[in-house]
Structure 1
């Protein structure tokens, strides 16, 4: 009881110690959330890796919304995806090579690189044992702890020369699918009492297919499932240096810390529900809407319910429609556009076309509801983001919800490694250290006997 009382007392003190007048943020021109007054991100660095484009800045400083673009090393993501689809091949391995090296591989280079990734995917005995020992309820936590454990088995864990950084990056990228698959299979056995299946990765198949095989077995997926998962991984591989998890990796890398510590920090950031867990929030909302909307084709019924959601009257009463809106994209999120294309094809294969049509209508009416709501603080143009369709796609493929956010990490590890390598190879390296202004008043010390 005494311990609980002390925790309560300390917790109550936080009510005062964490209170800061909002006017002080304006007085000292604090960029809250590292955002400018127009909601754009504060420029804190330069990169050659990825570019996220959602608007043009006009001569008068105002922002003009434009269709979104995502560029990997200057190449439009649309071109990367549509070329791979046209040639009827997976493209994630090509994207890995591009983001790490800065150039597209030729066929021989891509074949050799893909084979190297396959060979590196199998886990060492000590890593398998570590995953079993780290048994837990959350795969993201298991992933982070396994990455930290891998430091102990690396012969040069602290070496930050280019060759060693690239070796570590390729090894981690290759092993993430196997770590996540092992962790899930052990979780379903220990927590759900289901049979334990440990499948070793196959040689000379894509990362996407290997992941589905390790999770679901040989007959658990179709060719289209592989193509759609490969697409999702391409779309999540990189998103500029400003997204929270990548910035976390850059901040930690700037200190010179080891690769495993930096990547584990990125995993911790991505785990947050405002970042990597967003597609789970969308999934919960969609399931709720399937129940409360009695006619999935009735626009008025959907409009009325979204109005109540935005007014904090129904659902979780937070006034949000999950999966709609983005910090940068305005007219469209190119990732959502590409994923929606494949979602339509996948829904047809799975016999879930009515659900896809419902999702499509929800997207349209949600944008309308947000754009036309009364008393809105901003009239920023909004669009569906990639999270709106990703959870639906994963569900159609038959992936368990426990791997949704880890799958994001399995893709974004590529961008993390590319940004870490860039951060550690600037000619004029500097530790990233922003400032916080203390606004508390000076207090005289009172001796213990006089308190």
Structure 2
């Protein structure tokens, strides 16, 4: 498929319109008083291929803040859902319900030229990205902090600054900075991953962006995709419980073999994908998260983060010896969850919702370009088992 905003290289890692993660950190705008990339600057780059000025970034922040409030019917829907319903299910439902106000769907029903599809799609995508923090924060408060008031949107803050405020952690500057980095660099991972591909597929039917992205979120909710970061942290904490404070390479190695011999995978290291180029991104993001930790002594002193770092040193050799892992090196999920946990965001099931806020940056901008370029309905050829067997026998 055509996917223009990001490209993965097995040696260089990911590039966003030709820019590496370090390039982005140097050139893309940070929040006032912060150092990390903000979502708006990455969104501008992904959508246009150009680095925004600081003034352009601040203008986009203001626009997103002004459009960020949820309509009443979505508030009522989310507030009516049981606390026991998985946060990702709630997020997908909320995004789908936002299509009540889809400008693309309304314009298409009235009859518009195909050449105008992208303009209405862009409006929907900007509105959806703007509303995701309020939606995601409301779900968090309802499930984990019921009865606590939700902070309103501050028109002078960036998207993630408002998101963290609404979560109730606005006082935590380091968590805010980490989530700015996390959401910016998780925004686009080429188009072949399950969530981005789902948005592309559903969007190719001319479903509006809300329906397309709600489908993407349900793909992201799978344990082999976005749910992995909570599984990594759960596994690491089980290891910590078993080996205690005696964190040695030998003890970690024993626990790794225990996991593998029980028929389980090692979360955060085993990434099943047959194409090497799609694996390089995992290590790029792991290194970037590790670098964030390296600049903060309090993170390096955290026992769980120490365990993660030492596991990343031991696991590759164990997995190579085991022989069934295509890429034994740590991926992005190996480190991201433990940092969130350290900063007090301890609700595992919520981590994928944060990923869902981030992934919108890439999947939705590519949907705009798919409409602008008039890309066709996606319809891959399918084969029966008999046809596959004949194909194999013919080789």
Bucket of the pairwise TM-score, normalised by the shorter protein: 0.7 to 0.9
| Aligned position for 1:288 | 238
| Aligned position for 2:153 | 201
Please say if residues 188 and 196 of structure 1, whose CA atoms lie closer than 8 Å, have aligned partners that are also in contact.
Answer: no
| Higher Cα radius of gyration | 1
SS at match of 1:408: helix
Please say if residues 236 and 411 of structure 1, whose CA atoms lie closer than 8 Å, have aligned partners that are also in contact.
Answer: yes
Instruction: Specify whether residues 226 and 76 from structure 1 end up closer, same or farther in structure 2 by C-alpha distance, changes over 3 A only.
Output: same
The structure 2 residue matched to 1:165, chosen from 109, 114, 121, is 121
Rounded Cα–Cα distance in structure 1 between residues aligned with 2:80 and 2:255: 47
| Aligned position for 1:46 | 2
Please say if residues 97 and 103 of structure 1, whose CA atoms lie closer than 8 Å, have aligned partners that are also in contact.
Answer: yes
RMSD (CA atoms): 2.4
Instruction: Specify whether residues 381 and 284 from structure 1 end up closer, same or farther in structure 2 by C-alpha distance, changes over 3 A only.
Output: closer
SS at match of 1:372: helix
SS at match of 1:143: helix
Q: Deviations over 1:392-434 (max 9, x none)?
A: 011112223232001000000111101212222325x322112
SS at match of 1:205: coil
Please say if residues 203 and 209 of structure 2, whose CA atoms lie closer than 8 Å, have aligned partners that are also in contact.
Answer: yes
Q: CA deviation at 1:325?
A: 3.9
Please say if residues 38 and 160 of structure 2, whose CA atoms lie closer than 8 Å, have aligned partners that are also in contact.
Answer: no
Rounded Cα–Cα distance in structure 2 between residues aligned with 1:214 and 1:185: 9
Aligned residues: 369
The structure 1 residue matched to 2:304, chosen from 355, 358, 362, is 355
Rounded Cα–Cα distance in structure 2 between residues aligned with 1:432 and 1:88: 40
Instruction: Specify whether residues 71 and 115 from structure 1 end up closer, same or farther in structure 2 by C-alpha distance, changes over 3 A only.
Output: same
SS at match of 1:51: strand
Please say if residues 180 and 403 of structure 1, whose CA atoms lie closer than 8 Å, have aligned partners that are also in contact.
Answer: no
SS at match of 1:360: helix
Rounded Cα–Cα distance in structure 2 between residues aligned with 1:386 and 1:439: 35
Q: Deviations over 1:29-83 (max 9, x none)?
A: xxxxxxxxxxxxxxxx2221111222xxxxxxxxxxx3x4111122112211244
Please say if residues 336 and 388 of structure 1, whose CA atoms lie closer than 8 Å, have aligned partners that are also in contact.
Answer: yes
Instruction: Specify whether residues 331 and 402 from structure 1 end up closer, same or farther in structure 2 by C-alpha distance, changes over 3 A only.
Output: closer
| Aligned position for 2:177 | 227
**Is 2:87 the partner of 1:147?**
no
Rounded Cα–Cα distance in structure 2 between residues aligned with 1:163 and 1:182: 29
TM-score by length of 2: 0.86
Please say if residues 184 and 402 of structure 1, whose CA atoms lie closer than 8 Å, have aligned partners that are also in contact.
Answer: no
Q: CA deviation at 1:334?
A: 1.1
Q: Deviations over 1:127-174 (max 9, x none)?
A: 322322344521211111112211223354354722211111111111
Stretches of structure 2 that go unaligned for 5 or more consecutive residues are 109-115, 388-395
Decide which structure has greater helix share: 2
Instruction: Specify whether residues 311 and 217 from structure 1 end up closer, same or farther in structure 2 by C-alpha distance, changes over 3 A only.
Output: closer
Stretches of structure 1 that go unaligned for 5 or more consecutive residues are 1-44, 55-65, 442-451
| Aligned position for 2:113 | none
Q: Which has the higher contact order (CA 8 A, sep 6+)?
A: 2
| Aligned position for 1:276 | 226
Rounded Cα–Cα distance in structure 2 between residues aligned with 1:392 and 1:140: 20
| Aligned position for 2:23 | 79
Q: Deviations over 1:300-356 (max 9, x none)?
A: 2222221232222xxxx32x111014432359711111111112344x336843432
**Is 2:85 the partner of 1:101?**
no
**Is 2:328 the partner of 1:382?**
yes
Q: CA deviation at 1:440?
A: 6.8
Please say if residues 62 and 158 of structure 2, whose CA atoms lie closer than 8 Å, have aligned partners that are also in contact.
Answer: no
Rounded Cα–Cα distance in structure 2 between residues aligned with 1:331 and 1:434: 26
The structure 2 residue matched to 1:299, chosen from 249, 271, 281, is 249
Rounded Cα–Cα distance in structure 2 between residues aligned with 1:89 and 1:372: 38
Rounded Cα–Cα distance in structure 2 between residues aligned with 1:381 and 1:324: 7
